[in-house]
């Protein structure tokens, strides 16, 4: 294990642009995480529809967001932040001023439209974070962003669920989305730089996709997909195990402990002197997920989840770091958009895959099947890297 030092965090956090990017990213992401769970509550409780209907809405919105990632990222590279964010703000303002107060099918259509024009939050934030620091602090800065994501993931849904128990879900959904619009306006006003010193500015000649959209980049994106397969499947499996233990009231505790492990792991990874391959981290994450299938109590599941969580944020951070170094700076927006779409796709695959295994073999099978996917992709990636190195050394 490489040596750990927190000095890189002190150096990175001296950068005011980095601090600004992290705050903006957190403000824009929180409404996104909050609305994900809130839409399900609104469809089931507010509209009186089934969980299947809620799942269809969630899947449709997820697909729309995944589709939007690469082309919105390409527009970022070509036109810059403000010309991309402004239409997103206007579409979100119109769609979410109407969607919370209409029936299911119109809500579905408006959610898909809003998803297609969603602010490319992850692409913008990651580019701004990378641009704010030098090469030596890049991994540390991305780790800080991953920690900010974990905090948003832990806090925002909990606040949304609480608000939905106090007020009408339509108005809670409306105000959360308006907070997202407000955060988008703030991002438009601040307009953080997306290129670092010495990198090509936005709007310069683009590198051909044939020069970077190749096997090394796709392999890293596949590792990102497998990571979210493991995480989304584990999320469903945790809920299934807790229901099987008749401890539904402690689901939030277990998820919070899992998230805490990820937060700590992200901080530690950013403090390492040397990076670790995303494929090795994915293999470790998958291997640490297997024991969760053996948990027979809430305490055991939380403990196993904490250990697995230690590798969640580092694995995601490693895929972002490696992807950003593979591609030229002038196409980083599109590349981060593709990376985000691969991650979104993994999340869409992991939940139903784990659900099918749970229905067939019981709660523990959910962990086993998604962990097996992670191990398989990690093995393929490590093999490909070994073959590539052997070929390069032979020539």
Task: Of 154-158, 262-266, 291-295, 320-324, give the lowest mean pLDDT range.
Answer: 154-158
β partners of residue 4: 272
pTM: 0.79
Split at pLDDT 50, 70, 90, the class of 394 is: low
- Of residues 37 and 5, the one with the higher pLDDT is 37
In Å, what is the CA distance from 222 to each residue of 229, 276, 306, 321, 341?
10, 17, 25, 14, 11
Helix, strand, coil percentages (3-state) for the chain, rounded to 5, are: 85, 0, 15
Structural domain boundaries in the chain? 1-196, 208-390
The answer to whether 305 and 292 are in contact (CB under 8 A) is: yes
> Is 90's pLDDT higher than 60?
yes
Span 250-266, average pLDDT: 85
- The separation between the first and the last C-alpha atoms of the chain, rounded to the nearest angstrom, is 31
Provide the 3-class DSSP secondary structure of residue 92. helix
The answer to whether 349 and 226 are in contact (CB under 8 A) is: no
pLDDT in tens, 364-384: 998 999 999 999 999 998 888
Please, which residues have CB within 8 angstroms of residue 199's CB and are 6 or more apart in sequence?
Answer: 131, 329, 330
> Is 58's pLDDT higher than 80?
no
CATH topology agreement for domains 1-196 and 208-390: yes
The answer to whether 126 and 336 are in contact (CB under 8 A) is: yes
- Of residues 246 and 315, the one with the higher pLDDT is 315
pLDDT value at residue 1: 47
Span 166-172, average pLDDT: 89
Span 113-134, average pLDDT: 85
Structure tokens at 28: 């824009």
Structure tokens at 252: 């939030």
Domain 208-390 adopts which CATH fold? Answer: Growth Hormone; Chain: A; (1.20.1250)
As a whole number, the mean pLDDT across the chain is 84
Radius of gyration of the chain (CA): 20
β partners of residue 272: 4
pLDDT over 70 for what percent of the chain? 93
Residue among 225, 300, 309, 233 at smallest CA distance from 267: 309
CA distance 355 to 13: 41
The answer to whether 318 and 143 are in contact (CB under 8 A) is: no
pLDDT value at residue 197: 66
Domain 1-196: give its CATH architecture: Up-down Bundle (1.20)
CA distance 74 to 120: 11
């Amino acid at each position: 294990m490489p040596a750990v030092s927190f000095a890189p965090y002190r150096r990175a956090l001296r950068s005011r642009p980095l601090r600004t990017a992290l705050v903006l990213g957190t403000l824009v992401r929180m409404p996104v995480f909050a609305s994900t769970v809130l839409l399900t509550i609104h469809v089931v409780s507010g509209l009186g529809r089934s969980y299947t209907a809620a799942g269809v809405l969630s899947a449709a919105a997820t697909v729309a967001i995944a589709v939007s990632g690469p082309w919105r990222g390409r527009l970022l590279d070509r036109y810059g932040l403000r010309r991309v964010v402004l239409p997103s703000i206007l579409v979100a303002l119109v769609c979410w001023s109407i969607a919370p107060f209409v029936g299911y099918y119109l809500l579905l259509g408006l959610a898909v439209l809003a998803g297609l024009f969603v602010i490319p939050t992850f692409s913008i934030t990651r580019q701004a974070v990378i641009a704010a620091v030098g090469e030596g602090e890049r991994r540390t800065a991305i780790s800080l962003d991953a920690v900010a994501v974990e905090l948003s993931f832990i806090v925002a849904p909990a606040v949304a669920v609480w608000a939905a128990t106090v007020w009408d879900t339509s108005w809670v959904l409306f105000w959360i989305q308006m907070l997202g619009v407000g955060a988008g306006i703030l991002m438009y006003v601040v307009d953080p730089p997306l290129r670092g010193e010495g990198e090509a500015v936005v709007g310069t000649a683009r590198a051909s996709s044939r020069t970077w959209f190749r096997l090394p980049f796709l392999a890293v994106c596949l590792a990102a997909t497998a990571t979210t397969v493991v995480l989304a499947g584990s999320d469903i499996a945790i809920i299934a195990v807790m229901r099987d233990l008749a401890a539904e009231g402690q689901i939030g505790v277990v998820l919070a402990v899992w998230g805490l492990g990820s937060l700590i792991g992200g901080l530690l990874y950013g403090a390492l002197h040397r990076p670790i391959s995303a494929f090795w981290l994915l293999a470790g994450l998958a291997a640490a997920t297997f024991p969760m299938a053996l948990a027979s109590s809430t305490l055991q599941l939380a403990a196993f989840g904490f250990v697995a969580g230690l590798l969640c944020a580092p694995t995601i951070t490693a895929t972002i770091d490696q992807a950003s170094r593979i591609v030229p700076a002038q196409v980083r927006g599109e590349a981060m958009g593709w990376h985000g779409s691969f991650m979104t796709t993994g999340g869409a695959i992991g939940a139903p895959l784990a659900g099918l295994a749970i229905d067939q073999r019981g709660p523990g099978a959910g962990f086993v099947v998604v962990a097996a996917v992670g191990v398989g992709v990690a093995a393929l990636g490590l093999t490909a890297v070994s073959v590539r190195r052997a070929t390069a050394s032979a020539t």
